[in-house]
């Protein structure tokens, strides 16, 4: 007020005040006569507001061109949201021109990709492009070759996974874009073909497309195609991973991929009856370390990994009760640790896991409906399946009217039933697989952990590897191929 009375600018006051205060003060000195500092003060407030809300910058600049600090705001916006910058970099007009002419290496590179016909093929390598570790020309050499482009994606993923670990702990730009493209190419080029050839009895023909792939490249085919890969396709890829390793040890494989997706790999191995083989490829101490790492530090992981642990238990408890007891003991220990540390996320996760796992033991009589508000996960009460007459009616689909798979399965299905049992069988051309498991609505963390059908769950794209600190493994002696840990 005193400054205004003396005819001096209020700009220094606005500069020193929070945005909310400054905004009110400027409005007060707009009339009856405007203070000399109102216009420069409004510029201060505009810049401050944009920096507080970087996602709004580009849309704001599109309608307010010519700001003296436009280039600086473009850089802020670009480093905040690369995908948004990619979209705006291709537009015409002054804003698009300013983005393309930016001196900032990230903004300039994104603009270059956005204005290229192959921009989406370059985008997964953005971090290495910005850092000068790869060039557009390097990508051009392989982008039209499915095999070599996939190999470059895997090499880059391994590079990024290693950089996420100590001591670097570097978070590469647009790692999600890399993961999405790696998954897309793996499914389209490789998994799709071996799935389509599932009726071919000669594995040399069916899996021929995998012949050039390394163990690491095969590993990513498995962990990124969970919702599409057929059982026989998985088993074929899994076997080839170990056949192509110079030293076929599971702990060595996990170290080669820097622990990336190791929980997903273990979960799938359990589901496809390969976990005992996997743990048996390493010595007993390292097998124990791997399974302990599978359970610990979930409070620092994303929700998807906790779901992988939860999903795996039903397979493990059925086939390896001793290992299941070991996992449950680790869950209990981690629950106590998180309670003591007042870690809310960890406490919730491990409490859910402990409750779910203990419900698999019918002697404990755990009531999931009472404790978690969900139906039983490992059993279904017969009363929930019967109709008004007390009958349980099943509708079973067998696929394969154009090959012999479905017909063979249908025949095997009939064998246990008496000849007089009424059975209605029909053939239909169906494109969608039948879902036999009960589904739970994916609501909060509790519900995600309790979902029973992985194929219905789309993976989150933030795929951070589990670090070397979580897999403190020793190289397995070549003479040792032992069983999983027994407790």
Q: What is the pLDDT of residues 182-208, one digit of tens each?
A: 999 999 999 999 999 999 999 999 999
Average pLDDT, the chain: 84
pLDDT: which is higher, 374 or 95: 95
Phi/psi of residue 460, each to 5°? -70, 150
| Residue 487 in tokens | 């407790």
Confidence at residue 3, expressed as pLDDT on a 0 to 100 scale: 59
392 bridge partner residues: 386
Confidence at residue 33, expressed as pLDDT on a 0 to 100 scale: 65
Return d(Cα 215, Cα 238) in angstroms, integer.
Answer: 9
CB 334 within 8 A of CB 346: yes
Mean pLDDT (whole number) for 42-65? 92
Confidence at residue 404, expressed as pLDDT on a 0 to 100 scale: 67
Confidence at residue 245, expressed as pLDDT on a 0 to 100 scale: 96
pLDDT band, residue 429 (cuts 50/70/90): very low
Least confident of 56-60, 141-145, 150-154, 448-452: 448-452
CB 374 within 8 A of CB 359: no
pLDDT band, residue 402 (cuts 50/70/90): low
User: What single string gives the DSSP state of each residue in 331-351?
Assistant: HHHHHHHHHHTT-HHHHHHHH
| Residue 5 in tokens | 């009375």
Position 321 pLDDT exceeds 80:
yes
pLDDT band, residue 465 (cuts 50/70/90): very low
pLDDT: which is higher, 73 or 452: 73
CA angle, 476 as apex, 470 and 480 as ends, to 5°? 135
Least confident of 35-44, 96-105, 272-281, 300-309: 35-44
Return d(Cα 472, Cα 296) in angstroms, integer.
Answer: 13
Position 167 pLDDT exceeds 90:
no
Mean pLDDT (whole number) for 84-105? 91
Nearest-CA neighbor of 417 among 426, 405, 425?
425
Return d(Cα 453, Cα 435) in angstroms, integer.
Answer: 8
Return d(Cα 410, Cα 110) in angstroms, integer.
Answer: 55
Mean pLDDT (whole number) for 278-282? 96
Helix/strand/coil for 366: coil
Burial 283-307 (b: 16+ CB within 10 A, else e): bbebbbbbbbbbbbebbebebbbbb
Distances 227 to 13, 262, 268 between C-alpha atoms, Å = 59, 17, 11
Position 139 pLDDT exceeds 60:
yes
Mean pLDDT (whole number) for 312-338? 93
Helix/strand/coil for 95: helix
pLDDT band, residue 394 (cuts 50/70/90): confident
CB 61 within 8 A of CB 73: yes
Nearest-CA neighbor of 174 among 219, 117, 131, 214?
131
Helix/strand/coil for 418: coil
pLDDT band, residue 453 (cuts 50/70/90): very low
> Which residue has tokens 């070397």?
468
pLDDT band, residue 472 (cuts 50/70/90): low
The answer to whether the pTM exceeds 0.75 is yes
Mean pLDDT (whole number) for 33-50? 85
CB 466 within 8 A of CB 290: no
Return d(Cα 38, Cα 28) in angstroms, integer.
Answer: 10
Confidence at residue 292, expressed as pLDDT on a 0 to 100 scale: 95
């Amino acid at each position: 007020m005193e400054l205004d009375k003396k005819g001096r600018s209020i700009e220094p006051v606005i500069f020193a005040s929070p945005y909310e205060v400054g905004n009110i003060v400027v409005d007060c000195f707009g009339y009856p006569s405007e203070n000399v500092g109102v216009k420069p003060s409004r510029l201060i407030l505009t810049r401050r507001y944009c920096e507080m809300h970087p996602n709004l910058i580009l849309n704001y600049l599109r309608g307010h061109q010519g700001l003296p600090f436009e280039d600086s705001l473009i850089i802020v916006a670009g480093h905040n949201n690369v995908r948004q910058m990619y979209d705006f970099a291709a537009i015409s007009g002054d804003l698009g021109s300013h983005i393309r002419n930016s001196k900032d290496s990230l903004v300039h590179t994104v603009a270059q990709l956005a204005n290229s016909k192959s921009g989406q093929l370059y985008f997964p390598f953005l971090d290495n492009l910005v850092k000068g570790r790869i060039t557009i020309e390097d990508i051009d050499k392989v982008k039209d070759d499915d095999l070599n482009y996939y190999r470059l994606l895997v090499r880059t993923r391994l590079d990024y996974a290693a950089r996420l670990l100590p001591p670097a702990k570097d978070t590469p730009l647009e790692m999600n874009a890399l993961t999405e493209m790696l998954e897309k190419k793996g499914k389209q080029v490789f998994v799709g073909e071996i799935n389509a050839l599932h009726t071919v009895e000669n594995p040399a023909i069916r899996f021929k497309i995998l012949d050039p792939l390394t163990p690491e490249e095969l590993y990513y085919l498995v962990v990124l195609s969970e919702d599409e890969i057929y059982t026989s396709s998985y088993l074929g890829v899994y076997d080839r991973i170990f056949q192509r390793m110079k030293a076929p040890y599971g702990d060595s494989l996990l170290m080669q991929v820097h622990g990336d997706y190791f929980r997903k790999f273990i979960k799938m191995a359990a589901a496809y009856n390969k976990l005992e083989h996997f743990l048996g490829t390493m010595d007993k101490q390292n097998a124990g370390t791997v399974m302990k790492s599978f359970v610990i530090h979930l409070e620092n992981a994303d929700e998807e990994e906790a779901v992988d642990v939860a999903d795996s238990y039903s397979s493990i408890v059925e086939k390896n009760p001793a290992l299941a007891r070991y996992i449950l003991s680790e869950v209990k220990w981690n629950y106590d640790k998180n309670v003591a540390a007042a870690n809310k996320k960890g406490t919730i996760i491990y409490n859910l896991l402990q409750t779910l796992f203990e419900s698999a033991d019918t002697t404990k009589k755990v009531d999931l409906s009472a404790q978690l508000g969900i139906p039983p996960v490992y059993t279904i009460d017969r009363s929930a399946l019967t109709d008004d007459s007390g009958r349980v009616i099943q509708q079973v689909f067998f696929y394969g009217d154009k090959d012999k798979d479905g017909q063979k399965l249908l025949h095997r299905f009939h064998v246990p039933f008496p000849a007089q049992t009424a059975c209605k069988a029909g053939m239909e051309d169906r494109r969608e697989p039948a879902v036999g498991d009960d589904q739970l609505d994916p609501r909060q963390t509790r519900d995600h952990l309790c979902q029973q059908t992985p194929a219905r769950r789309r993976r989150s794209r933030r795929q951070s590897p589990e670090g070397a600190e979580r897999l403190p493994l020793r190289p397995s002696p070549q003479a040792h191929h032992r069983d999983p840990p027994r407790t």
